[in-house]
C-alpha cells in the first residue's frame, strides 16, 4: 500500500472540520450531516474534554459519524486514540506532541493511512516529517476556547516560518479561525484550515461551512 499523494491531500485539507459531542449544540450526527452538506473536505472525530463520551458510547458515536463521512467521500480521522482509530478502521489519525509518537503510529497503521501531527516549531515539524507525518496542524493561530490546554497564540508567523524554512508538506492552520480571519492563514502558506467552534457552534452550519469552502477557494490554493 502507498502513502496518499500530497497534492490530493492538500485538496482534502481545505476545510477540515473537527468535532466531538461536547462541541455540539444539537445532535452530533445532525451537526456533521449539515457540515457535510456545506462541503467540508475532511473530518476529525475529537471526543475530548469535560463531559465527553467514553468506551462504548464513544465507539458508537464514532461509527455513526464515520458512516456519514464514508457515504459522502469525506475522510474520517480520529484524534489522539490509536486504539479507536484501529477499531474503526479510520482513514487516519491526528496526534500532538503529547500523544503517541508519529513514528510508532506509522509502524502500527502502515503506509495507507493518513497521519497528521501538530507542530509548534521548525524542529517539531522536521521531526514529524522524519517520523512519517502526511500533514501538519499548526496553531493556535488565534485565541481559542475549544482546547483547554492550548499553547500560546502564534498568529500566522509559525506557518510563514515553516514555509520560509522549506517545509513543503501539506499543512493546516488551527485555532480561533472564523470566516472573518481565514484569509491571512492561507496567505501565510497553509493549504487549508481546521475549525471546531465556528462550524459546530454556528446558527446555520451548512451556510457557514459553505462560506469556508468559498473563502478557501478564493485563495487559489
Ligand X SMILES: Cc1ncsc1CCOP(=O)(O)O
Ligand Y SMILES: Cc1ncc(COP(=O)(O)OP(=O)(O)O)c(N)n1
Catalytic residues: 46, 118, 147
CA distance to 109, 125, 152, 196, 212, per residue, from 32 (Å): 26, 30, 29, 11, 15
Compute how many other C-beta atoms are within 10 angstroms of the C-beta atom of residue 87. 13
Among 21, 66, 118, 208, binds ligand Y (CB under 6 A): 118
Query: Does residue 210 interact with ligand X by CB under 6 A?
Result: no
Q: Does 179 bind ligand X (CB under 6 A)?
A: no
Nearer to ligand Y, 156 or 194 (CB): 194
Q: Is 105 in the site for ligand X (CB under 6 A)?
A: no
Are 204 and 37 spatial neighbours (Cβ–Cβ below 8 Å)? no
Q: What's the distance, CA 77 to chain centroid?
A: 8
Stretch that binds ligand X, among 62-70, 108-116, 137-145, 204-212 (CB under 6 A): 137-145
Nearest to 129 by CA among 166, 164, 89, 160: 166
Instruction: Please tell me whether 43 is known to bind a ligand.
Output: no
Interacting partner of 144 out of Mg ion, ligand X, ligand Y, none (Cβ under 5 to 8 A depending on kind): ligand X
**Residues within the interface to ligand X (CB under 6 A):** 139-140, 144, 146-147, 150, 174-177, 195-198
**Residues within the interface to ligand Y (CB under 6 A):** 16, 18, 44, 46, 48, 79-80, 94-96, 99, 116, 118, 137, 147, 172, 174, 194
Amino acid at each position: 500500500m502507498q502513502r496518499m499523494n500530497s497534492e490530493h491531500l492538500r485538496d482534502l485539507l481545505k476545510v477540515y472540520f473537527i468535532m466531538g459531542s461536547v462541541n455540539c449544540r444539537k445532535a452530533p450526527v445532525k451537526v456533521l450531516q449539515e457540515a457535510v452538506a456545506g462541503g467540508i473536505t475532511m473530518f476529525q472525530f475529537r471526543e475530548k474534554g469535560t463531559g465527553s463520551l467514553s468506551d462504548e458510547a464513544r465507539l458508537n458515536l464514532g461509527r455513526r459519524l464515520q458512516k456519514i463521512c464514508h457515504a459522502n467521500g469525506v475522510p474520517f480521522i480520529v484524534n489522539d486514540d490509536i486504539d479507536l482509530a484501529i477499531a474503526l478502521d479510520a482513514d487516519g489519525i491526528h496526534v500532538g506532541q503529547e500523544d503517541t509518537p508519529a513514528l510508532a503510529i506509522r509502524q502500527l497503521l502502515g503506509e495507507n493511512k493518513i497521519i497528521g501531527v501538530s507542530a509548534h516549531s521548525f524542529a517539531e515539524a522536521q521531526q514529524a516529517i522524519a517520523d512519517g507525518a502526511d500533514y501538519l496542524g499548526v496553531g493556535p493561530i488565534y485565541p481559542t476556547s475549544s482546547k483547554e490546554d492550548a499553547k500560546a497564540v502564534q498568529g500566522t508567523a509559525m506557518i510563514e516560518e515553516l514555509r520560509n524554512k522549506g517545509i513543503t508538506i501539506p499543512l493546516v492552520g488551527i485555532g480561533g479561525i472564523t470566516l472573518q480571519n481565514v484569509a491571512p492563514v492561507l496567505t501565510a502558506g497553509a493549504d487549508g484550515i481546521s475549525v471546531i467552534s465556528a462550524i459546530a457552534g454556528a446558527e446555520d452550519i451548512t451556510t457557514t461551512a459553505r462560506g469556508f469552502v468559498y473563502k478557501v477557494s478564493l485563495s487559489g490554493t
